[in-house]
Amino acid sequence: MPTDDYSGVRLTAIAINGRTWSCHGCGALWLLIALWLGFASAGNRESGSGLIPWVAEKYGAAAAERVLDWRRLMSSNRDLNEQSKLVLVNDFFNHLKFSTDFRLWGKADYWATPVEALGIGGADCEDYSIAKYFTLRELGVADDKLRIMYVKALSLDQAHMVLIYHQTPGSIPLVLDNLNSKILPADQRPDLAPVYSFNATNLWLAKSRGRGEHVGGSERIGLWRRLRKRMEIEAER
């Protein structure tokens, strides 16, 4: 479950009476993405990759098959239109069983890489959102169209994470969510109140005055830094 702080910034102090779903210019952590996409785009080299034997040894044969299915999804669907890519990726990861970080990893909060989530065969809201984000990036969706967003799930009265997609700058984003598998525009999700969002480089806070405030790089989130480090290690396998 999402926590309410990052690197000393307390999110409990942020008013969320207003809703900010606007998307401004976003950057990309190109080195990380290039490394990660390098192992994700194995194509016909899938079975020879050192990653798959590692997954099989660590998580089992069924886990290795899930990772292979994911890599085939990415290598075979780059020519789809973006709406079809959203549906494909959202459905693929929502089939993972929901579980808590404590049950999966023995920790109160842990952001899994896509390989880890597929390996262990389960995910929480952060893991779904992160996996969808990186998979859509591999399928060619531009980084400035995507943000991972912390929200408050009002019906559950708890923190939650989703992935949002903007077709054009300033458009109402679509929400990719594990709580509701149907991809809907944000204005049709009154059950969610945005708190902050980020992509590979940038971080924004949602403010009650009706716009997102850019507050720096996403490296300020410690869990994101550690996730990136593990992905770099996976890319070298």
In order, the DSSP letters of 108-145 are SS----HHHHHHHTEE-HHHHHHHHHHHHHHTT--GGG
- The predicted pLDDT at position 161 comes to 95
CATH number of the domain that residue 162 is part of: 3.10.620.30
pLDDT band of residue 20 (cuts 50, 70, 90) is low
Q: Which domain holds residue 201?
A: 5-235
Q: Which of 205, 199, 208, 211 is nearest to 9 (CA)?
A: 205
Instruction: Output the pLDDT for position 199.
Output: 79
For the record, the structure tokens of 208 come out as: 């009650």
| Residue 151 pLDDT | 94
pLDDT by residue (tens digit) across 149-184? Answer: 999 999 999 999 999 999 998 899 999 999 999 999
Distance in angstroms between the alpha carbons of the first and the last residue of the chain: 29
**Dihedral sign, Cα of residue 118, residue 55, residue 102, residue 198:** negative
The number of distinct structural domains making up the chain is: 1
pLDDT in tens, 70-108: 999 999 999 999 999 999 999 999 999 999 999 999 999
| Whether pLDDT at 40 is above 60 | no
Band the pLDDT of 235: cuts 50, 70, 90: confident
Quick one: pLDDT band at residue 141, thresholds 50, 70, 90?
very high
The pLDDT score that the predictor gives to residue 41 is: 45
Q: 119 pLDDT exceeds 70?
A: yes
Q: What is the pLDDT of residue 44?
A: 38
- Top pLDDT among 217 and 169 is at 169
Mean confidence (pLDDT) of the chain: 79
pLDDT at residue 22 above 80? no
